[in-house]
Amino acid sequence: MAYAINFNVMNPGRERSPVAPLADVAIGLTGVTKRYQRGKGLLTAVSEVTLSVPPGQVIGLLGPNGAGKTTTIKMICGLVLPTAGTITLNGYDVARQRAGAVRQIGAVLEGSRNVYWPLSAWQNLMYFGRLKGLRAVAIRPRAERLLTELGLWERRHESVGSFSRGMQQKVAIAAALITDPPVLLLDEPTIGLDVAAARTVKDWIARLAADEGKTVLLTTHQLGVAQELASRIAVIRDGKIIADLPTGELLSRYAEDRFEIRTRKIPNGLRPGVLPAGGRIEHGAEATRILLPGAGQADLYRVLDGLRAAGSQLISVSQARPGLEDIFLRLIRDGEEGPGAVRATAAERVA
């Protein structure tokens, strides 16, 4: 729940001489590890994660269930204490300058209890705005704009508990934005939203980053969302970052050529050695498909020559490039490249 995040900003004056915000790192994680007690042993949910997100960047944190995404976000929010490592938000150390750090963020956490259900949408926004130290006069126009743009203005006085899941998610997003924080942490922001609501939320995230320079860290299982919004993608598996690259580079680095040949029957069969490693033949009722993943032009011509020699009649030859989903599944399955191989250098990482 988001309440704990907000309670911690009640005493911002207690921290003396806060460090001046760093301009070049909005979200900084250094060697962050979280171990939970599990039975008599320990479970490492997040393992030595180091990540540096510059201001204005939208980064997608992807990974299978239980990879450590939510734990990472909760540690950035200060809701879960890391076992080791440090986290900074615009230069404020989350552990030592908590109030300053929490003021930098708006968060929508996993699940639907980010806002108070008995309160109306309007009351929630007023409440969270006041909790973060804003005066009512400052909150009202912003709440009005947020609720109007998210299509909730007409229903602003109804209790959030009576809203649909998508509407509750929109209120949670509005509550995270009410104080206009520079950094947004969004755990599965479009989960459970219908097509139109997901479009609204995605457009909002894109606009907040492009027009208002917000830094956004989002997790999602909807790879299309990550591909559309994030300029950088980090993949986490078993608590470790196994890939961290600009989205375009991730796509192109793994964009091996894949050819697909469709033919009528192959009367004489293909000679041994014609098919390159990884190639396979699928016989269908209408056509035979020959799939050549990772094949170069020379491999393709060898197979085509082989098909001609075998007296086969071609239907089509096409080239396909893997999408983010293929790449993601491969990384999750193999991960043999190791963290070093798929990490961009600091220079490459600039948004």
Ligand X SMILES: Nc1ncnc2c1ncn2[C@@H]1O[C@H](COP(=O)(O)OP(=O)(O)OP(=O)(O)O)[C@@H](O)[C@H]1O
Closest contact distance (angstroms) between CB of 68 and Mg ion is: 8
Rounded to whole angstroms, the Cα distance separating 93 from 109 reads 21
Q: Would you count residue 247 as binding ligand X (CB under 6 A)?
A: no
Q: Under the criterion CB under 5 A, does residue 227 sit at the interface with Mg ion?
A: no
Closest among 133, 216, 114, 118 to 175, alpha carbons compared: 114
Q: Is 118 in the site for ligand X (CB under 6 A)?
A: no
Q: Which does 260 bind (CB under 5 to 8 A by kind): ligand X, Mg ion, none?
A: none
Residue 67 interaction partner, one of Mg ion, ligand X, none, beta carbon < 5-8 Å per kind: ligand X
296's contact among ligand X, Mg ion, none, with CB below 5 to 8 A by partner kind, is: none
Tell me if 202 contacts ligand X by CB under 6 A: no
Please give the Cα distance from 189 to 226 (Å, whole number). 11
Residues 6+ apart with CB under 8 A from 29: 49, 50, 51, 52, 72, 76, 85, 86, 87
Judged by beta carbon, residue 99 or residue 235, the one nearer ligand X is 235
Binding mask 77-116 for ligand X (x = CB under 6 A): ---------------------------------x------
Q: Does 45 bind ligand X (CB under 6 A)?
A: yes
Sheet order of strands, 280-283 included = 280-283, 288-293, 258-263, 314-320
66 is an interface residue for ligand X by CB under 6 A: yes
Starting at the earlier edge strand, list the strands of the sheet with 27-38: 41-53, 27-38, 84-89, 92-93
68 forms part of the interface with ligand X (CB under 6 A):
yes
Which of 65, 297, 318, 345 is close enough to bind ligand X by CB under 6 A? 65
In this complex, which beta carbon is closest to ligand X, that of residue 52 or of residue 83? 83
Q: From the list ligand X, Mg ion, none, which binds 158 (C-beta under 5 to 8 Å, kind-based)?
A: none
Three-state SS at 315: strand
Strand-pair partners of 92:
89
Among 23, 36, 305, 321, binds ligand X (CB under 6 A): 36
Q: What part of residues 38-97 is at the interface with Mg ion (CB under 5 A)?
A: 69-70
| Cα separation values, 147 from 94, 116, 254, 302, Å | 30, 16, 41, 61
Distances (CA, A) of 308 to 268, 274, 326: 10, 12, 31
Query: Which residues, listed in sequence order, are joined to residue 88 by a DSSP beta bridge?
Result: 28, 93
Q: How many residues bind Mg ion (CB under 5 A)?
A: 3
Contacting residues toward ligand X, per CB under 6 A: 36, 43, 45, 63, 65-71, 110
